Amino acid sequence: MINNEFQVYRLNNGIRVIHQQATSNVGHLGVIINAGSRDEEEYEHGIAHFIEHSIFKGTKKRKAFHVLNCIENVGGEINAYTTKEETALFASFLTPYYERASELLSDILFNSVYPEKELSREKEVVFEEINSFKDSPSELIFDEFEELIYDGHPIARNILGTPEKLKSFGKGHIFSFIANNYHTDQIVISSVGNIPFKKIIQLAEKYFGGAPENLRSCKRKKFEEYVPGNRQENKDTFQSHCIIGNIAFDSSHPLRIAMVLLNSLLGGQSMNSRLNLALRERNGIGYNIESNYTAYTDTGLFCVYFGTDKENLEKAIKIVYQEFRKLRQGTLGALQLAKAKRQLIGQLAIAAENREELMLTIGKSYLLYDKVDPMAKVFEKIEAVTAAQVMEVANMILDERKLSQLVYL
């Protein structure tokens, strides 16, 4: 089946495959699983991320050393990540090694044995990762802000877990989490490379098709009880760090694209975003300034972050709220809207040139929506956003009565 740029296929066990042909000497192959830290029980806090670390530590036929060297010995790279809703295992390699990468990813996904000695060693690595994170207030504040927003819900918990919980994990806990969450209909094999789709199907059938069908029957607990919060914490930092935000639209909401456009306009990647101009360029009171929009399957999060000198904190917060009010009270002009759209479209086009990122993006999209829009269709959706929709979103998300705030002093 061909869907303009993308070709898709479904194995008998429910695992899906998506491929984009690319003229390149390098191939990118990944396995994206619809399971992350929000799927943990409270006693499992941190296990999704710990599995991502430990899955490379040996299989039924490979020691940890051989897992790493299988791809790296031929100049490739293998990696993984965990989010609140997904886990990904992926590799980049020269095109002739597509089968090697397919076999390796299948082996570590289905046949990892999690030796106790390796688990003990990897726990120490994760402990250091947790400590490193705690030493970085500009990163830690994002986790604590989600805890403030999603208070009491599984999505509130940070991805890394705690040393106390990690110490308790054994291979039994790992196999239990995998059995309960790594369902075959929630797994996508994603590929971008210079290889015929027929060959991709053959590799998927050979290395992934033999896994027994294991379909998901349960649903995630939906977040429905947001209460705005305002908290300050005393930290021994040179700067004050501040996050202001609100719950936002989920990944299927009809106003999601307008939300993406609003986020880009307000504090996206570009130096000419409204917040960067207001705080940094016009007032010189900030260096790291950004806004972020994360769409989960049943909720979303929008937030603005900045760091500034302690004496400029109140002024900076006031400026942020002023920019919010401008977007709530004034409709974008035609030229402003057109510029914002051009900028977002350009950023997406540039991002798509990173083929590893493209492979992960189309895999996640196919996982969530069972389809992937070609870039031309994505651009059409952005062009279709109206100034009235942007203002509507601003009034829903940037309403001062609904905003939460976390400050490190």
User: Got the DSSP string for 146-206?
Assistant: HHHHTTTSGGGS-SS--HHHHHH--HHHHHHHHHHH--GGGEEEEEEESS-HHHHHHHHHH
Average pLDDT score over residue span 171-196: 97
Residues 6+ apart with CB under 8 A from 65: none
Cα first-last separation, the chain: 56
Cα distance between residue 152 and residue 162, in whole Å = 16
Cα distance between residue 133 and residue 370, in whole Å = 35
Residues 6+ apart with CB under 8 A from 252: 297, 369
Amino acid, res. 108: I
Antiparallel, parallel or unpaired: β 230-233 and 404-408: parallel
Residues 6+ apart with CB under 8 A from 282: none
- pLDDT higher than threshold 80 for residue 270: no
> What pLDDT sits at residue 1?
38
Query: Using one digit for the tens of pLDDT, what is the confidence trace for 83-92?
Result: 999 999 999 9
What is the b/e burial string over 47-70, where b = at least 16 CB atoms within 10 angstroms of the residue's CB? bbbbbbbbbbbbbeebebeebeeb
- pLDDT higher than threshold 60 for residue 116: yes
> What pLDDT sits at residue 268?
83
Cα distance between residue 18 and residue 37, in whole Å = 25
Burial of 103 (0-12, 13-18, 19+ CB in 10 A): middle
User: Element (H or E) spanning 18, and its range?
Assistant: strand 16-21
Q: Give whole-number Cα distances, 230 to 89, 244, 308, 406, 408, in Å.
A: 37, 9, 18, 6, 12
Tokens of 147: 């805890």
Q: List, by residue range, all CATH 3.30.830.10 domains of the chain.
A: 2-208, 230-408
Q: Which fold has domain 2-208?
A: Cytochrome Bc1 Complex; Chain A, domain 1 (3.30.830)
Give the CATH superfamily of 230-408: Metalloenzyme, LuxS/M16 peptidase-like (3.30.830.10)
Q: pLDDT band at residue 306, thresholds of 50, 70 and 90?
A: very high
Tokens of 8: 């898709």
Query: Using one digit for the tens of pLDDT, what is the confidence trace for 39-74?
Result: 999 999 999 999 999 999 999 999 999 999 999 999
Main-chain phi, psi angles of 297, to 5 degrees: -70, -25
Average pLDDT score over residue span 27-37: 98
Query: Using one digit for the tens of pLDDT, what is the confidence trace for 234-244?
Result: 988 889 999 99
CB 29 within 8 A of CB 91: yes
Burial of 83 (0-12, 13-18, 19+ CB in 10 A): middle
Cα distance between residue 364 and residue 355, in whole Å = 14
The DSSP code sequence of 309-357 is EGGGHHHHHHHHHHHHHHHHHSPPPHHHHHHHHHHHHHHHHHHHTSHHH
- pLDDT higher than threshold 90 for residue 259: yes
CB 115 within 8 A of CB 58: yes
> What pLDDT sits at residue 283?
94
Identify which of 23, 21, 88, 19 has the alpha carbon closest to the alpha carbon of residue 366.
Answer: 19
pLDDT above 70 covers a percentage of the chain that reads 99
Query: Using one digit for the tens of pLDDT, what is the confidence trace for 349-359?
Result: 999 999 999 99
- pLDDT higher than threshold 70 for residue 2: no
Q: Which pTM value belongs to this model?
A: 0.93
> What pLDDT sits at residue 271?
83
Q: pLDDT band at residue 406, thresholds of 50, 70 and 90?
A: very high
Cα distance between residue 298 and residue 244, in whole Å = 21
Q: pLDDT band at residue 3, thresholds of 50, 70 and 90?
A: very low
Identify the bridge partners of residue 81 per DSSP, sorted by sequence position.
88
Cα distance between residue 193 and residue 201, in whole Å = 14
| Maximum distance among all Cα pairs of the chain, rounded to whole angstroms | 63
Q: Give whole-number Cα distances, 341 to 294, 338, 380, 409, in Å.
A: 19, 5, 10, 37
> What pLDDT sits at residue 237?
87
